[in-house]
Structure 1
Amino acid sequence: MSSIPISVEGFQRLEKELHNLKKDRPEIIQAIKEAREEGDLRENSGYHAARERLGLLEARISFIESRMPQFNIIDLATLGGDKAIFGATVEIEDMDTGDKKRYTLLGPDEAEPTKGSISILSPVGQALLGKEAGDEIVVNAPRGRIQYEIISIRFNGSGAPKN
């Protein structure tokens, strides 16, 4: 994928995370230096923990920095229509159980299913793209095939669904 969609808010959150990670770097480097001064590194758990923290921090910094040029930043306030696209909030109903769910379709770097947003690259997100209210979709899930009906599609102008 050469272009990764992301909302303005999602991009700003990643920029803030990157800033904070870079701000934490000197503190971790100092912890490694102090642990190194304690002597034998083979049994120095503080040293190994700090090195691991630095490795995870550097990996996350590299990942975010590598993604930044690929982002296609989209202002959700400018979106509208009657089809499920990036930025749409879609309410669906499980046709077997009657359970209703509401998701905002976002990019993979900002989707948080526990907070009501899913990636457009997820199985449900892929099945929803381009569909309209009243359409039925089938999603292959670990528990089997799930059939949903799209109840509504709306645009909120925000990355989080509104109730």
Structure 2
Amino acid sequence: MPTLPMTAAGHAALTDELAERTRIKRPHLAERIQQASADEPNLIENSEYQAALGEQGLNEARIAELESKLARAETIDVSKLSGETIKFGATVTLTDQDTGEERICQIVGEPEADPAKGKISFSSPLARALIGRSKGSVVAVETPGGDKSYKVEQVRWLP
């Protein structure tokens, strides 16, 4: 089974979510199911029971997914990385060559990627274009909205 690279912060976030789902949400859902079945014994027509059962199924699926990801996790301590060359974990400041707009993003593992928060997966088109480059480089990226060109302004190693 292939490993999943992720930052220490990403690993901690998945571990916290797993703990919350197993220690808090799982017992709460079991209690809701028990209460709903006590309130209305006809379980087929008991909408609260059916809703809680569905939510329990989704929670258990997410728990299994988190356990699998954490079992395959290869945690990379970004604070121990350095250098001018962009690689996994780098926080990069870019300038859009068309608009002049500045963008800051960190290259992270797929489980922790959140483009709205500036965390891009190492397998994303932008990250693939950036990896191996350094300050001053200009990269071209094919996006759904058309081709984009970015200049690398800064490479930092933030935890």
Query: Fold match, TM over 0.5?
Result: yes
Which amino acid letter does the alignment assign opposite residue 128 of structure 2?
A: Q
Give the Cα–Cα distance (whole angstroms) in 2 for the partners of residues 9 and 91 of structure 1: 20
Give the Cα–Cα distance (whole angstroms) in 1 for the partners of residues 59 and 107 of structure 2: 28
Pick one of 125, 128, 134 that aligns with 1:126: 128
Shift of 1:148: 1.2
Pick one of 44, 55, 62 that aligns with 2:57: 55
How many residues are treated as equivalent by the alignment? 157
What is the SS of the residue equivalent to 1:109? helix
Runs of 4+ in 1 over 3 A off after TM superposition: none
- Asked whether 1:85 is paired with 2:87, we answer yes
Gaps of 5+ in 1: 159-163
Match of 2:17 in 1: 17
Which amino acid letter does the alignment assign opposite residue 96 of structure 1?
A: D
Shift of 1:50: 0.3
Match of 2:70 in 1: 68
What is the SS of the residue equivalent to 2:42? coil
Give the Cα–Cα distance (whole angstroms) in 1 for the partners of residues 144 and 116 of structure 2: 18
Give the Cα–Cα distance (whole angstroms) in 1 for the partners of residues 131 and 12 of structure 2: 25
Match of 2:142 in 1: 140
The aligned runs of 1:77-116 (5 Å cut-off) are 77-116=79-118
Percent of residue pairs identical: 37
The farther-off stretch of 26-35 and 36-45 is: 36-45
- TM-score for the superposition, normalised by structure 1: 0.90
Give the Cα–Cα distance (whole angstroms) in 1 for the partners of residues 98 and 116 of structure 2: 22
Shift of 1:124: 1.1
Shift of 1:69: 2.1
Which amino acid letter does the alignment assign opposite residue 26 of structure 1?
A: P
Give the Cα–Cα distance (whole angstroms) in 2 for the partners of residues 121 and 149 of structure 1: 19
Give the Cα–Cα distance (whole angstroms) in 1 for the partners of residues 43 and 30 of structure 2: 15
